Structure 1
Amino acid sequence: MTVYCNKDVSQDTLQIADWVVSESLEAIVIGIEFGCNTIFLGKETSVIQPTLFAPSKEEALRFIQANERVH
């Protein structure tokens, strides 16, 4: 599992277990299309449906860490 936080992603670099955490709608869409977990940084929007919305990078990373402990 790799966490891509505000980085450019492509389907060539992603694996199913990866997380895409980004302010970029484009990066989130790529993650969704590939089947990755996604966290959009910012306010909730109906334009996309990521796994989660988070107000900040720190909150997103805390969730990912907690999720990994459970699984």
Structure 2
Amino acid sequence: MFELGVVYRNITRADRAAADRMAALGSATVHEAMGRVGLMKTYMRPIYPGAHYLNADTTAFMQ
């Protein structure tokens, strides 16, 4: 799925109910449960205190 110039339009998304359940957990808990992947760099911080974000995003490779 890493071919340049190919657009994937029908991407399997995470189950909405599962995403909602994960939203209630802390990022460290989810990070550990996923095998210690997906954690942002230590210098990245919320834009304001108490900010929360959960979304089923996709990554675009533009080279």
More strand by share: 1
- TM-score normalised over the length of structure 2: 0.28
Query: Between Structure 1 and Structure 2, whose CA radius of gyration is higher?
Result: 2
More helix by share: 1
- TM-score normalised over the length of structure 1: 0.27
